[in-house]
Structure 1
Amino acid sequence: MNNPYRPLPPLGALIGFEAAARLGSFSLAAEELNMTQSAVSHQIRTLETHLQQPLFLRISRRVELTDAGRDLMVSAQEALETVRLGVRRLDAYSKPGSVVIHMPPAFGALWLAPRLARLRGSHPDVDPWLYTGSHDVDLTESEFDITLTTEAPIGEGFAAATFLREERIALASPGLAADFQNCMGEAP
């Protein structure tokens, strides 16, 4: 049977590589990862051997990424970030009653945060986790239980309800309002 993971390099070595590439130093990577400089250097050599090409140029006491190293750094950072976020999402499964709520940062800070204590008091079995982001999310790909968004999701498995209606009004001093209305051709 064909193993699709066979061409992948040792994934542990990618962590050392990513840190060294980002920091531009095997020593700084070792310090950040709580390893020896020799261990990071060994991970890089293992990776270079597996990929059959150099990822760093060793210049005196410093290192620089090769073109292949720069290319791999982007992929390694994206892959490691995806795994990190996936592992972080697992926390919700270990805590019964967890409800992950996604909303814009200002709404979370100004509307939900002042109400959290009351929510926890009236529903002690619910553990709300607030995730704030200023972008809408793809609910088919996320682990959010509830999201506040400007558009209702399309597709099966979603229940949408109007939560709050937004109303915007202009506020201005009477003089400024009159000037604005005169400019717009409206009577005050």
Structure 2
Amino acid sequence: MGRWEPNGRGRLAQAALDLYVERGFDQTTVAEIAERAGLTERTFFRHFADKREVLFDGSSLLQQSMVDAVAAAPASASPMEAAAAALEPMGELFDQRRDFARRRHSVISVNPELKERELIKLATLTEAIAATLHERGVAEPAASLAAQATIGVFHVTFQRWVAPGETRELGELMRESLAELKAVVR
């Protein structure tokens, strides 16, 4: 190994994603990721529990941002309006990382184990939003329905945002999808 270089975590994440895209997730080893990043396997495991975690790093930040936005919604907001507030910070978190998100999505979408993990992440976000709505005094089933609808909008919109050729910002697409949901339930 050469001289120490900064941002080991970021280099590992970039190396992993590059290898997953080039070779496939299952065909890539932690040793190869570490080597590509110019680091050791031991360093990899200081940053990530396993090679799947590279693709799901930041999930807790995403969840906290969504929960904070729901909690900060005006007291006068309906359950759906409060839950939909969770979508507001998404553009800020994602727009600068579209290429990474597209590449990540291409890896996850062809691997059943990773797709399952992505669905678990979405279920965890749903539960966190519903719990925050409960803290705001929203009863069941309204809290769960609003949380499910919000995560549904997030999931569908994210799929559109990472599609080849899509250039609009995530926030714009989120607002469009929310309007579409409102039209559907009328």
Scaled by the length of structure 2, the TM-score of the pair is 0.27
Structure with more helix by fraction: 2
Higher RCO structure (Cα 8 Å, ≥6 apart): 2
Structure with more strand by fraction: 1
| Rg larger in structure | 1
Scaled by the length of structure 1, the TM-score of the pair is 0.26
